[in-house]
Structures are given as structure tokens and as C-alpha cells.
Chain A
Amino acid sequence: DTAVSQTPKYLVTQMGNDKSIKCEQNLGHDTMYWYKQDSKKFLKIMFSYNNKELIINETVPNRFSPKSPDKAHLNLHINSLELGDSAVYFCASSPRGTGDYGYTFGSGTRLTVV
């Protein structure tokens, strides 16, 4: 039973399309995150939700919109996809607001925009 699961694992789409990535955790954690990893493996936080409330919203184009219907789910919707959006997107969770326990990561969604 996967702790943090993301779907889809791979996503290939054309420029201008709209796509969503879903994330679910069954750990009972309060806080969930989206990170973007570029081709050089650099990780950048995008968003964080704590108990469905948005607490971190980094400098991310407003084409990216997160949604958390409940504390076990955090989805990422991307409008008008651009070539530069190609990356691996990781969902993660932690037990509570603090990250002192460390994160549990999903296995990633590799997005390729052509």
C-alpha cells in the first residue's frame, strides 16, 4: 500500500493544453507539498497545504493552481502548458505543520511538454 501516490507517473502533452496531477497520502499526515525538480535535479517548493489550508505559495506562475479537497489529497492543475513546465513534479507529506519529521515523497510525475 503506497504511502504517497501520484498519478499519472508519466505525462506527455502539447503546448497550450491543460493537465492535472493527483496526489494522495494514506499516512494521516496534516501537511502536503508540491515540489518541482528540473533536469539538473534542483528541487524547488511550489505549494504547501496544512489541513486543506494553503500555507506556502512560492513564486509560481498563476497557470499552476493547487487544490486540496481534504487533508489526504493535494492535486495540481496546470493551464496553458509551456515547454519550460517540463520537469518532474513530486508530491510529499509530513506529519504536521513542522517539517521536523522529514517528508515522505511520492515517486514523481514526469511531465513532458512538446
Chain B
Amino acid sequence: GDSVTQMEGPVTLSEEAFLTINCTYTATGYPSLFWYVQYPGEGLQLLLKATKADDKGSNKGFEATYRKETTSFHLEKGSVQVSDSAVYFCALTDTGGFKTIFGAGTRLFVKA
């Protein structure tokens, strides 16, 4: 079945450091790919998405590119802030579109 694998956390960075959180997926067909962010005590928020190969999703300085050849959707940010500390989830929606599968989440800590 479809699956999403994310790098294990926690990831600890200093403010203004470069962030990469790796995400790879297994899916039949042509899934849509997403990154969600969860701040403490809150629900998940959609951060960015890409619906076809080579699409780049971006929002709030975060970017991810849908790479079909490597089945990857890595999240990047050039300069993280303390306020970016959260749990980040990579997810895919299957071709049928009714089910979204989430990765295990990666916790990010950013130190001042």
C-alpha cells in the first residue's frame, strides 16, 4: 500500500540555519503531496502542496519540490526562526483522492 517515510527527529537547529527535512513516498498512480505543520496544542495546518511531478510548493519561506524520479518531497527553508519550532508532517493523497496518509512527523527545535 501507499506509505510516507520521514527522517526521524528531533532536529535541533540554531536560528538562521538551513533546514532540510527528508520525505520519501511509495504510491501507485499519481499522488498529491503535502507538508503540514503542527504547533504545540494545535491541530495540523497545511503548509504547502504539490499535485504533479516537478511542481514546487512554497509558503512562508518553506519550499518542497515533487520529484517523481526519486519519489521524494523534501522540505527546505533557508533561514529558520525560533517560531518555526513545531512538528512537520509529510503526507500524500492517493490518486482516488479520498485518503491521505501521513508520515510519522519530524519535530523541529530552533534555538535562539
Note all chain A residues with C-beta closer than 8 A to B49: 100-102
Q: Cβ of A104 and Cβ of B46 under 8 Å apart? A: yes
- Chain A residue total in the interface (Cβ 8 A): 25
A105 to chain B, nearest CB (A): 4
Q: Cβ of B97 and Cβ of A99 under 8 Å apart? A: yes
Q: Cβ of A105 and Cβ of B45 under 8 Å apart? A: yes
Q: Cβ of B98 and Cβ of A50 under 8 Å apart? A: yes
Note all chain B residues with C-beta closer than 8 A to A59: none
Q: Cβ of B99 and Cβ of A56 under 8 Å apart? A: yes
Note all chain A residues with C-beta closer than 8 A to B51: 100
A16 to chain B, nearest CB (A): 28
Q: Cβ of A103 and Cβ of B44 under 8 Å apart? A: yes
- Chain B residue total in the interface (Cβ 8 A): 25
Considering the chains assembled together, what is the distance between the CA atoms of A97 and B100 in angstroms? Answer: 11
Note all chain A residues with C-beta closer than 8 A to B41: 107
From the candidates B87, B93, B107, name the one contacting A98 in the complex (CB within 8 A).
Answer: B93
Across the two chains, which residue of chain A brings its CB closest to B32? A100
Considering the chains assembled together, what is the distance between the CA atoms of A41 and B106 in angstroms? Answer: 9
Across the two chains, which residue of chain B brings its CB closest to A105? B43
A31 within 8 A of B: yes
Contacts known (A41-B104, A43-B89); A103 close to B46, Cβ less than 8 A: yes
Note all chain A residues with C-beta closer than 8 A to B99: 45, 48, 56, 99
From the candidates B42, B93, B100, B102, name the one contacting A107 in the complex (CB within 8 A).
Answer: B42
Contacts known (A40-B104, A43-B89, A107-B42); A102 close to B98, Cβ less than 8 A: no
Contact with B along A1-34 (1 / 0, CB 8 A): 0001000000000000000000000000001000
Chain A positions within 8 Å of B, measured between CB atoms, are 4, 31, 40-43, 45, 48, 50, 55-56, 90, 92, 97-108
